[in-house]
Chains A and B, each alone.
Chain A
């Protein structure tokens, strides 16, 4: 219990503002969560939590909110008490930088990633240290300690990690390699899928379509999941999340702020032009010059790119940056200089004028909004002999029912996004379908607004944590397809996950005991009250 609060309450009482009992009652809280239609699991979770907390004498209302309004209320306005939201496991977030940043005090302002307002100087200090640490093992120590600090203080409760459950037609294709957070629709798809018969065109069903296919203007993950198949990157993250030099022959650190990249020789763009160090330098300079907001977190540490010789580049950083190789080099696409250099403002291009030439394993063929996308195998790719399919077709459906019907009628071979809970059991009973369950490193959480009385008290939050039915959430709501939440770095992200963070078991008597020890007491109405003045 923060002493400031006790003093404040005592002063209020001293000056007779309100009667003694009602002034000390822990106020009613409201949980904002998704609507049942958007996500039945988060919706139900709120009601389960409401039920358990009532047993502690804490009154909670549940307010299901339309998704974008929920996001706006939570991030842009911070006008919430408790909120159930989530972070999706996007591949660049396997590096702990982004998730750890959500507890940094510098992110606590409106529109920042830390809407709860957690602030801990020691945590911030370690955050800066890990960000500059090149030695992965040393960095890991910082990352472990940060998780321990934060989870001990429970600025939020990680509710669960939800498996990505997808399905494919096992009679037609096989060899899919699942990746944490991305399931089977990942960037290794062209290299791993094996046709079992004559069909060499893989058809993917999806409801999610790119906002646009301008590599300097797409701001949705679905734009990037599509484009990364036809643009190449210097580094690719292996299915085991190891950074592999890809369009780069090698990547090495010359010193703390200089990274040397040797470019693979003999690569070409889809229009036949060679990929040169000029193109690589241009790609990085161009995203910086165009100030493309979506890539900013990636290129921010970059000072400049120097061309050393025909195959060698030096990336010079403003300060040592641990994630530069794993995130920046694996996310920023190589674009052809000859097609882009005369484009003054990339985000003003009309859809017809956007160059779609990359140097990736597949090449762009067409994109018809709301209908269809197609990629063709790039025969001159340096690993073309590892690609066993001729093309990837995407059928864009209006809703997940459409996608599922597509699987049943064999119109599509696989899904790009998770099945609905009800469809999973149905899919398991279909002879031609293989259901794949892949753990996610994104997480769903309940964030407390730490600016509010009671929620600003560590003991109070720990008691709440003991009263969240984590096992029920994972086993009943998720039907076992997921895991109870522990830390903001998920267990599947094994290298960075701290398995020793404090775990708050579901135990109502323990919760009551924690509250009692902190001085909270129940009044005649059965409502919880703040500790009495000493």
Chain B
């Protein structure tokens, strides 16, 4: 099988998977969430007035008609109108998506830069107290719930010492009118510190431990022995020769993490009142805002699929055996 054929096959699989996800999303929300007009009763609207609202959002149509309208709109790139905001979903989605990205990417960058380096050091110091405490703290960070770390940070840095802001992306009042003027400020970086640190610490353990494990495997290979025989310093062997080869699984993990990150760290966004996509998803589900919920999950699913696809492609490039493996040749 050639490379082109492999890519084509993966693309078809990707589209098929995506269609299944779209269908599941549609029915999941409609069957699982309460009637979106229910909330209007509490506001004192009569049955007739609720029917007006239902008709406006097409909720009076049979389910299968709604489903085909949904698919058609999706193909046309139309994500519909949010029931809650009564405004087009797409601009809102993009706004929240970007807010989430500028929180998640720095956090992931931090953890995937520091994590592997720490992993190398741990494998280097194998059997020492450093390795032991490194592994324990890695596991600890990985298992500490982020809302807990978040609350501790807020208490210490926000309330006790009062040195760092604990909510939002910027200090009010502000004048920023577009996305770029919003994030190219010191104020934004200032607000980013605590939430990004919370997420980075949580993500740190995984690349660190993966790196350590693969390093230990790689260190047993013949070429490392050769390096040692050549009289290279341990530092050079570790970082220049071994780490390079051990990095591959970390790269895959990073790609998947980025894909998942689109949905944000819902809990972190709530704890720090970060106006991101995760918070939006919760609200959409809570208010039975089908179009908003669908679009956010579509975006998240799309990103996960895309990043997995890219990881596959990169793998195929780095290790050509992947392309033919599993084809029974």
Contacts and interface: CB of A to CB of B under 8 A. Distances in A.
Interface string A402-431: 100110110100000000000000000000
B154 interface: yes
A480 to B, nearest CB: 27
B159 A408 contact: yes
A73 B41 CA distance: 12
Given A109-B47, A112-B47, A293 B172 contact: no
Given A297-B46, A405-B154, A409-B166, A374 B35 contact: no
A371 interface: yes
B167 interface: yes
B168 interface: yes
A239 interface: no
Interface in B169-217: 169, 172-174
Contacts of B53: 219, 293
B156 interface: no
Contacts of A396: 273, 275
Interface in A107-138: 107, 109-113
Contact of A370 (B43, B275, B287): B275
A351 B85 contact: yes
Interface in B122-177: 151, 154, 158-159, 162, 165-169, 172-174
A111 B46 contact: yes
A347 B40 CA distance: 16
A393 B45 contact: no
* Interface SS of A by simple majority: mixed
Given A397-B167, A401-B271, A405-B167, A71 B47 contact: no
Interface in A185-211: 201, 203, 211
Most chain B beta carbons < 10 A, residue from A71, A113, A351, A405:
A405
Contact of B87 (A76, A113, A291, A351): A351
Interface in A62-93: 66-69, 71-73, 75-76, 87-88, 90, 93
Given A201-B173, A405-B167, A68 B287 contact: yes
B42 interface: yes
A113 to B, nearest CB: 7
Interface residues of A, number: 57
Interface in B27-55: 33-35, 37-47, 49-50, 52-53
A283 interface: no
Nearest to A112: B47
Nearest to A68: B34
B38 A370 contact: no
Contacts, number: 139
Contacts of B40: 219
Interface stretch (B14-22, B69-77, B88-96, B293-301): B88-96
Nearest to A221: B43
B38 A72 contact: yes
B35 A217 contact: no
Contacts of A401: 151, 271
A383 interface: no
A371 B45 contact: no
Given A214-B86, A351-B85, A405 B158 contact: yes
A68 B39 CA distance: 6
Nearest to B147: A401
B56 interface: yes
B41 A398 contact: no
Nearest to B154: A405
Interface in A336-386: 347, 350-351, 368-372, 374
A63 B49 CA distance: 30
A297 B44 contact: yes
A114 to B, nearest CB: 11
B42 A71 contact: yes
Given A398-B270, A402-B273, A113 B167 contact: no
Contact of A294 (B43, B88, B173, B288): B43
Contacts of B88: 350
Contact of B56 (A201, A294, A347): A347
B226 to A, nearest CB: 56
A462 B163 CA distance: 59
B84 interface: yes
B263 to A, nearest CB: 15
A238 interface: no
A296 B46 contact: yes
A10 B270 CA distance: 59
Contacts of A393: 172-173
Given A76-B38, A219-B45, A402-B167, 15 more contacts: A68-B38, A68-B287, A88-B42, A113-B41, A113-B46, A201-B173, A211-B86, A347-B56, A369-B85, A372-B174, A393-B172, A393-B173, A395-B273, A398-B269, A409-B162
26 contacts: A67-B286, A71-B34, A71-B41, A71-B42, A72-B34, A72-B38, A73-B34, A98-B44, A201-B173, A217-B86, A296-B49, A297-B44, A347-B56, A350-B87, A369-B275, A372-B168, A395-B168, A395-B273, A398-B270, A398-B274, A398-B279, A401-B151, A401-B271, A402-B271, A405-B167, A406-B167
Interface of A: 66-69, 71-73, 75-76, 87-88, 90, 93, 98, 107, 109-113, 201, 203, 211-212, 214, 217, 219-221, 291, 293-294, 296-297, 347, 350-351, 368-372, 374, 391, 393, 395-399, 401-402, 405-406, 408-409, 411
